[in-house]
Structure 1
Amino acid sequence: MNNWRKSSYSGPDDGNDCVEIANTPTHVGVRDSKAPAKATLTFPAGAFAIFLDGVKTYSTVTDFARFRG
């Protein structure tokens, strides 16, 4: 995947640590901006929208981490 984009919410105050996404017409890739050469999650485009809807219920990364266990 090419054309990785970082969230506009990522800025100097948070150390520019964020996830990046890249998309094609059929898939969306997600990676850690601190380790871009490591693992990438790849979702079919429709599944990524469902994933985002699920993540929106968590107000912080800590809340999401608790969910993951």
Structure 2
Amino acid sequence: MRARLMARVHATTRRLTRAGEAGMTTAEYAVGTVAAVAFAALLLVVVKSGPVKSALTSIIVGALGT
């Protein structure tokens, strides 16, 4: 009887450990996604600023030769 109980406890521990690791992977992806969105927002603010916008416009106009 004790051996069966220990086997059930061991099986439950393994199952919970695997489930906990799967949740950590999801959390890591969520943190990575939030970081990527924050970086994209920062990049958008920089690109839309006046000096950068005029510099990019002059580069594009010069490349097109118009």
**Same fold judged by TM-score > 0.5?**
no
TM-score (norm. length: structure 1) = 0.25
TM-score (norm. length: structure 2) = 0.26
Between Structure 1 and Structure 2, the one with more helix by share is 2
Q: Looking at both structures, which has the greater relative contact order when contacts are Cα pairs under 8 Å and sequence separation is at least 6?
A: 1
**Computing the radius of gyration over CA atoms, which structure comes out larger, 1 or 2?**
2
